[in-house]
Amino acid sequence: MAISELLDTLRGASSRHLEELIQWLQIPSISSDSHRRVEVTKAAEWVAEKLDRAGLEVEKIETEGHPMVYAQTPVVPGAPVVVVYGHYDVQPVEPLEEWISGPFDPTVRDGNLYARGATDDKGQVLTHVQSVCDWLASGESLPLQIKFLIEGEEEVGSRNLEAMLPTLSERLACDCVVISDSSQYADGQPAITYGLRGLATYELRVDGPSQDLHSGSFGGAVMNPAIALCHLISSMVDQQGRIQIPGFYDRVRPLEPRERQQWKGLPQDDREFAAAVGVDQLFGEGGFTTDERRWARPTFDVNGLRSGHQGEGVKTIIPATASAKISFRLVPDQDPQEITPALEQHLRKHAPAGVRWSLRVEHGAPGMLANTESRFVQAATDAIEKAFGVKPVLIREGGSIPIVTRFQEVLGCDCLLLGWGLSDDNAHSPNEKFRVEDYHRGIVASAILWDEIGKLNQSPKT
Ligand code: BES
Ligand code: ZN
Q: What is the pLDDT of residues 366-416, one digit of tens each?
A: 999 999 999 999 999 999 999 999 999 999 999 999 999 999 999 999 999
Q: Kindly state whether residues 403 and 418 are assigned to the same domain.
A: yes
458 has pLDDT over 70: no
Residues sharing a CB contact under 8 Å with residue 41, sequence separation 6 or more, in sequence order:
66, 67, 152
| pLDDT recorded at residue 157 | 93
Q: Rounded CA gap, 133 and 202, in Å?
A: 40
Q: Rounded CA gap, 43 and 41, in Å?
A: 5
Q: Rounded CA gap, 323 and 295, in Å?
A: 28
Residue having the nearest C-alpha atom to atom 4 of ligand 1: 399
437 has pLDDT over 50: yes
> What share of the chain in percent tops pLDDT 90?
98
Tell me, yes or no, whether 280 lies in a domain. Answer: no
Pocket test for ligand 1, best of 88, 159, 161, 181 (most atoms within 8 A of CB): 181
263-266: long-range contacts at Cβ-Cβ below 8 A with a sequence spacing of 24 or more?
263/289, 263/291, 263/292, 263/295, 263/395, 264/289, 266/185, 266/291, 266/393, 266/395
Q: Which domain holds residue 345?
A: 201-253+295-365
Q: Kindly state whether residues 18 and 96 are assigned to the same domain.
A: yes
> What share of the chain in percent tops pLDDT 70?
99
How many angstroms is it from 221 CA to the middle of ligand 1?
44
Read off the pTM: 0.95
Q: Kindly state whether residues 155 and 228 are assigned to the same domain.
A: no
Q: Kindly state whether residues 177 and 37 are assigned to the same domain.
A: yes
Tell me, yes or no, whether 57 lies in a domain. Answer: yes
331 in Cβ contact with 306 (< 8 Å): no
Which of 308, 338, 365 marks a domain boundary? 365
| Average pLDDT rounded to a whole number, residues 110-116 | 98
Task: Say which CATH number the domain at 54 has.
Answer: 3.40.630.10
324 in Cβ contact with 227 (< 8 Å): no
pLDDT tens, position by position, 343-380: 999 999 999 999 999 999 999 999 999 999 999 999 99
Q: Kindly state whether residues 58 and 73 are assigned to the same domain.
A: yes
Tell me, yes or no, whether 284 lies in a domain. Answer: no
Q: Kindly state whether residues 133 and 147 are assigned to the same domain.
A: yes
77 has pLDDT over 80: yes
Which of 312, 334, 365 marks a domain boundary? 365
182 in Cβ contact with 419 (< 8 Å): yes
How many angstroms is it from 447 CA to the middle of ligand 2?
25
Q: Kindly state whether residues 73 and 118 are assigned to the same domain.
A: yes
Task: Say which CATH number the domain at 345 has.
Answer: 3.30.70.360
Tell me, yes or no, whether 275 lies in a domain. Answer: no
How many angstroms is it from 156 CA to the middle of ligand 1?
10
Q: Rounded CA gap, 110 and 103, in Å?
A: 17
Q: Kindly state whether residues 69 and 141 are assigned to the same domain.
A: yes
Q: Kindly state whether residues 450 and 324 are assigned to the same domain.
A: no
Q: Kindly state whether residues 185 and 214 are assigned to the same domain.
A: no
| Average pLDDT rounded to a whole number, residues 285-291 | 97
| pLDDT recorded at residue 438 | 98
Q: Rounded CA gap, 181 and 367, in Å?
A: 15
Tell me, yes or no, whether 277 lies in a domain. Answer: no
Tell me, yes or no, whether 460 lies in a domain. Answer: no
Q: Kindly state whether residues 49 and 77 are assigned to the same domain.
A: yes
| Average pLDDT rounded to a whole number, residues 23-45 | 98
| pLDDT recorded at residue 1 | 66
How many angstroms is it from 309 CA to the middle of ligand 1?
32
Q: How confident is the model at residue 16 (pLDDT cuts 50, 70, 90)?
A: very high
| Average pLDDT rounded to a whole number, residues 315-327 | 98
Residue having the nearest C-alpha atom to atom 9 of ligand 1: 399
Tell me, yes or no, whether 273 lies in a domain. Answer: no
Q: How confident is the model at residue 2 (pLDDT cuts 50, 70, 90)?
A: confident
Q: Kindly state whether residues 91 and 40 are assigned to the same domain.
A: yes
Tell me, yes or no, whether 462 lies in a domain. Answer: no
214 has pLDDT over 50: yes
Indicate the average pLDDT of the chain: 97
Which of 365, 399, 415 marks a domain boundary? 365
| pLDDT recorded at residue 462 | 46
Closest CA relative to residue 291, chosen from 412, 438, 191: 191
12 has pLDDT over 70: yes
Q: Indicate the number of domains in the chain.
A: 2
| pLDDT recorded at residue 71 | 98
